[in-house]
Structure 1
């Protein structure tokens, strides 16, 4: 399990009240220490989904860290959504073997996930992004480049009339590329923005490849390929360079 590291001041979020819903005491201790060192207030830790729902119904939290592998949560998060209208941002903990059960339900609210074994830098990075998104939710941004549209209110993207159906990591990558349109973005920049930590070049290449298939598939008349590899430097988003 990853050791708790000293976190950069940019990830501090003093006063934010967090609920942890997880059954593994080691993970609870790791999360509690990590979040508290980063300036969060851990307002409770419970071991079952039922207890988590009861806590959310009775108290307002700024963020819930939720282990989606708990036995009574296999039908979540669909059931969670219909329990109360006051659902805070949710950061799910999930193992790779159960990831396919979670992904179809993401992207409709302020939700994200990290995979186990937990990496503290990734937990803090994803938590900060969720809270930052909630702070700006009253004025959601819609980003447009040609016929490509990203809607931060719904975390959905489309090209023309075609929905792209992006995963959270793919959406974060496309958002970063669009924010840096017509500039070269390095693999290191992508790694920091998407995962909050360094990742191997192969992982980045696979993510870019999946995104490219969705964004640039079926490019028809009048459309252009938007995601380009700049060998030795990184990636370029936008109309092809001369």
Structure 2
């Protein structure tokens, strides 16, 4: 029997939750509704979903806090999370992505767009998680333990910077445009400004410390991670450009 993807809908407005659930059933998914963080955790503990639709504003613990919590748990850290929210400002989008969300959908949204986003994160889930460990020069990333080290010193990265570095290291020495990075690291986020990538690259360089110069800016083209940084890369790291 074909596996039908299980979708955990964490939404406290019954009408919205039911509308999403009905459309998911018609789209070939198995929806499970939880009205708050406690119920959501109970459902997740019982059966791991394939995707989580997580409302930002929930009674009790917020969706943002819940996303951060699930990203820290070994059992749930790889489940795709799509944030549902009425907050459309870019800082809020960045906050949602920083918390570990894979995609961000602003209310009101079309059900067709929602289904397309869910299918997109499911397509992207497996290809980018096959490599458990990757090494570039003296920089080592272990996806299984979520650890990064440079010259045998452990580094601390946020969830978004970790995903960005993971992708750059798996495709080292190649130049990636901002739009390509948005698609491959965040998902098909056409609604997010490309300068969002610049913000995260700057944060990544700062977190990498001495390895920050390995993330090079290729002017007019995008970014590249290299084991042999050019001498001018330090100035790029300092400016974030």
List alignment gaps of at least 5 residues for structure 1.
1-12
Q: Does 1:91 align with 2:84?
A: no
Q: Does 1:191 align with 2:182?
A: yes
Instruction: Tell me which residue corresponds to 1:8.
Output: none
Instruction: Tell me which residue corresponds to 1:226.
Output: 214
Within-5 A mapping of 1:8-157: 15-25=4-14, 28=17, 32=21, 41-67=29-55, 69-74=57-62, 76=66, 89=79, 91=81, 93=83, 112-115=101-104, 117=106, 120=114, 124-130=119-125, 136=130, 141-157=132-148
Q: 1:235 and 1:54, CA in 2 relative to 1: closer, same or farther beyond 3 A?
A: closer
**Mapped partners of 1:102, 1:190: distance in 2:** 14
- Greater shift in the superposed pair: 28-37 or 18-27: 28-37
Q: Does the aligned pair in 2 maintain the 1:91–1:127 contact within 8 Å?
A: no
Q: Does 1:174 align with 2:165?
A: yes
Compute the RMSD of aligned alpha carbons: 4.1
Give 1:99 deviation, angstroms.
8.0
Find the partner of 2:193 among 197, 200, 216.
200
**Mapped partners of 1:81, 1:202: distance in 2:** 25
* Secondary structure, counterpart of 1:18 in structure 2: strand
CA displacement 1:5-54 (0-9 Å, x = unmatched): xxxxxxxx9621122121135753675477567x6513322212233233
* Secondary structure, counterpart of 2:60 in structure 1: helix
**Mapped partners of 1:31, 1:164: distance in 2:** 40
Give 1:144 deviation, angstroms.
0.6
Give 1:176 deviation, angstroms.
1.8
TM-score normalised according to structure 1 size: 0.65
- Greater shift in the superposed pair: 59-68 or 186-195: 59-68
TM-score normalised according to structure 2 size: 0.66
Number of corresponding residues: 213
Q: Does 1:162 align with 2:153?
A: yes
Q: 1:33 and 1:154, CA in 2 relative to 1: closer, same or farther beyond 3 A?
A: farther
- Greater shift in the superposed pair: 114-123 or 170-179: 114-123
Give 1:226 deviation, angstroms.
0.5
Q: 1:28 and 1:72, CA in 2 relative to 1: closer, same or farther beyond 3 A?
A: same
Q: 1:152 and 1:224, CA in 2 relative to 1: closer, same or farther beyond 3 A?
A: closer
Q: 1:147 and 1:35, CA in 2 relative to 1: closer, same or farther beyond 3 A?
A: farther
Q: 1:161 and 1:112, CA in 2 relative to 1: closer, same or farther beyond 3 A?
A: farther
Q: Does the aligned pair in 1 maintain the 2:93–2:104 contact within 8 Å?
A: no
Instruction: Tell me which residue corresponds to 2:206.
Output: 213
